[in-house]
């Protein structure tokens, strides 16, 4: 049995900021991996929390969406109900910090589990953002891939009650998110794997690092030689593998990097 050194766990705000500043200074190719925790201060509740609207408006599994027209309509009803809750969400301190580091050329990619478009809203160009679970601010035809905007879809849905069909091919149109039971997006996964192999610092922010691929990417990056820093409000199962764990409020810790 090998003896593993324990990660350094930093709870004090000033120390966390100092450690992060040093790590960022010593890195040239940072991969920022973000989860729900970076968006909670923006008013997007973590879908894992028990009072989350996701419990009330439980997402419909992909299978059901595809084969049951009534469930497809229900999926759209829930989607629009959730959209109303998140409508006022704006990027937070963490988003702006990462946008700033992208602009400085420090961050090679932001790989996100979030679907809220807040990295884009904070000014990060699309080519730096890799969305593992898609994006909830537009829709796609599942047959031909044509992009559809939500506003006209919603107007038609509210008028007719019928789930939207593609205006080009008539195929089923779905929110551009990855539903439970839907395969991971191939292009995004490939881009993420390349960034994992390429980065010299893997900075995991606000992710519980439980589900695949969130649980696998940090360790893979380490095997390629990157440092691993985990910034999160709570413990994660990978804390013991990290080089440094920063435990605290994500916005507070990242605030100085937004300037
Ligand atoms: Zn189509």
Phi-psi region of 209 (alpha: psi -120 to 50; beta: other; left: phi over 0): left
Ligand 1 mean position, distance from CA 99 (Å): 34
Q: How far is CA 48 from CA 70, 88, 128, 254, in A?
A: 26, 20, 27, 23
Q: How far is CA 191 from CA 31, 48, 134, 181, 188, in A?
A: 12, 26, 14, 21, 5
Predicted pLDDT of residue 86: 84
Cβ partners under 8 Å of residue 195, min gap 6:
31, 108, 109, 111, 130
Q: How far is CA 25 from CA 30, 59, 104, 251, in A?
A: 10, 41, 11, 19
**Of the listed ranges 57-61, 136-140, 218-222, 250-254, the one predicted with least confidence:** 57-61
Predicted pLDDT of residue 2: 46
Predicted pLDDT of residue 117: 97
Phi-psi region of 17 (alpha: psi -120 to 50; beta: other; left: phi over 0): alpha
- Does the structure show a pLDDT above 70 at 34? yes
CB 174 within 8 A of CB 140: yes
Ligand 1 mean position, distance from CA 227 (Å): 43
- Please, which pLDDT band fits residue 1 given cuts at 50, 70 and 90? very low
133 is catalytic: yes
State the average pLDDT over residues 182-186. Answer: 92
The token pair that represents 65 in the structure block: 């969406």
Ligand 1 mean position, distance from CA 175 (Å): 13
**Of the listed ranges 16-30, 37-51, 95-109, the one predicted with least confidence:** 37-51
State the average pLDDT over residues 81-86. Answer: 88
- Does the structure show a pLDDT above 60 at 3? no
Indicate the length of the chain as a whole number. 259
Predicted pLDDT of residue 5: 65
Predicted pLDDT of residue 58: 82
Predicted pLDDT of residue 107: 98
Ligand 1 mean position, distance from CA 208 (Å): 36
36-48 pLDDT per residue, tens: 999 999 988 776 6
Ligand 1 mean position, distance from CA 147 (Å): 8
CB 202 within 8 A of CB 227: yes
Q: Which residue out of 95, 119, 133, 148 is catalytically annotated?
A: 133
Mean of all residue pLDDT scores within the chain: 94
Predicted pLDDT of residue 170: 97
Ligand 1 mean position, distance from CA 174 (Å): 11
133-171 pLDDT per residue, tens: 999 999 999 999 999 999 999 999 999 999 999 999 999
- Please, which pLDDT band fits residue 177 given cuts at 50, 70 and 90? very high
Question: With pLDDT > 70 as the criterion, what percentage of the chain qualifies?
Answer: 95
Ligand 1 mean position, distance from CA 119 (Å): 28
201: buried, middle or exposed (CB in 10 Å: 19+, 13-18, 0-12)? buried
Predicted pLDDT of residue 57: 79
């Amino acid at each position: 049995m090998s003896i593993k050194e324990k990660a350094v766990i930093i709870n004090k705000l000033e120390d966390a900021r100092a450690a992060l500043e040093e790590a960022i200074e010593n890195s040239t190719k940072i991969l920022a991996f973000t989860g729900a925790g970076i968006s909670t201060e923006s008013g997007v509740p973590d879908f894992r929390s028990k009072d989350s609207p996701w419990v009330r408006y439980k997402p419909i599994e992909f299978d059901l969406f595809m084969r049951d027209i009534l469930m497809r309509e229900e999926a759209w009803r829930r989607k629009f109900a959730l959209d109303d809750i998140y409508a006022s969400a704006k990027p937070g301190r963490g988003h702006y910090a990462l946008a700033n580091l992208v602009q400085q050329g420090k961050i090679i990619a932001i790989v996100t589990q979030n679907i809220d478009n807040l990295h884009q809203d904070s000014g990060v160009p699309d080519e730096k953002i890799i969305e593992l679970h898609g994006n909830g601010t537009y829709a796609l035809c599942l047959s031909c891939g044509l992009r559809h905007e939500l506003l006209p879809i919603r107007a038609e849905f509210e008028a007719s009650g019928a789930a939207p069909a593609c205006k080009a091919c008539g195929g089923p149109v779905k929110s551009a998110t990855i539903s439970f039971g839907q395969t991971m997006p191939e292009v995004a996964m490939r881009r993420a794997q390349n960034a994992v192999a390429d980065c010299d610092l893997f900075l995991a922010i606000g992710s519980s690092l439980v589900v695949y691929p969130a649980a696998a990417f940090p360790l893979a990056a380490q095997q390629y030689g990157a440092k691993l820093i985990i910034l999160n409000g709570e413990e994660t199962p990978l804390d013991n593998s990290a080089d440094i764990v920063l435990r605290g409020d994500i916005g507070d810790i990242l605030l100085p990097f937004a300037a």
